[in-house]
Structure 1
């Protein structure tokens, strides 16, 4: 590591500590040339895959776009921000763990729908209506029936009331 004060090519590590979260290392360094001390931080750099859109163009994976989609679908719905953040983290982690260099925008949309379905059925229907380009009331009715059918099946297997 180059010294930021005298630009000497080599520095000595005096102390290393892992952050409380465990995702960063703090290193105290000393330059043998000028004697000054400084701190560096080491973190993991993960590259999310490129997003291949419907028209074949590519874009950087953007977590903020996910958040915007969730916010629009969940507008005025009683879902805590922590749950939304956790859902987005699951989506990001899923695509990181695949190790792919590219993913389709369709697979991102499907993942968002899956997470919204678990969080809030109304938000799921809102997102699905845009994502699947609902054309009329029948499309909404079909989506609601699908949600009710799954909830009824869960209630029958668990012996509980539908959600």
Structure 2
């Protein structure tokens, strides 16, 4: 594993343990060049996924990008980081088991919407505001009203 500090090619694993949700292995490493320590995560990947964007552009699936967008929607909400990790891992697993190497960004967005709806209504509305491109306060009101009716 290349050192993120000095780019030396070799590092030594000092500690290895599963993450709390069991979906990854956390490894503490030490660079053999500069002795800096850093952490890596090893996850199961069933297949390489390509995301088909709305404008016909393609890009590799990026789990970290998905986690960042879900985390932004959930910012300052009483949601444990482990629950967000589990949500993203579950979405990734669903995508990988679909049997197709290409998945639309729309499909990913719908899976996130479903997951956040069950997790936290405010995070759900925040994500929807970006995903569905709300342009006016009325868009928020209508969507929040629909969410309230479903919950109420």
TM-score when scaled to structure 2? 0.69
Task: Structure 1: give runs of 5+ residues left out of the alignment.
Answer: 1-19, 24-42, 153-163
Matched residues, number: 115
State the structure with more CA Rg: 1
Whether the 8 Å CA contact 1:52–1:105 is kept in 2: the answer is yes
Counterpart residue number, 1:117: 117
Higher relative contact order (CA 8 A, sep 6+): 2
Q: Does 43-52 or 93-102 show the bigger shift?
A: 43-52
Task: Structure 2: give runs of 5+ residues left out of the alignment.
Answer: 1-17, 25-42
**1:7-156 correspondence runs (5 A):** 46-152=46-152
Q: CA deviation at 1:97?
A: 1.1
Whether the 8 Å CA contact 1:48–1:95 is kept in 2: the answer is no
Q: Distance in 1 between matches of 2:135 and 2:50?
A: 30
Q: Distance in 1 between matches of 2:100 and 2:148?
A: 35
Q: 1:44 and 1:109, CA in 2 relative to 1: closer, same or farther beyond 3 A?
A: closer
Q: 1:147 and 1:50, CA in 2 relative to 1: closer, same or farther beyond 3 A?
A: same
- Can you list the C-alpha shifts for 1:19-76, whole angstroms capped at 9, x where unaligned? x97x9xxxxxxxxxxxxxxxxxxx9652132100011111111100111101110111
Q: Distance in 1 between matches of 2:134 and 2:77?
A: 21
Q: Distance in 2 between matches of 1:44 and 1:74?
A: 25
- Can you list the C-alpha shifts for 1:72-120, whole angstroms capped at 9, x where unaligned? 1011111001110111111011111111021100111111111111111
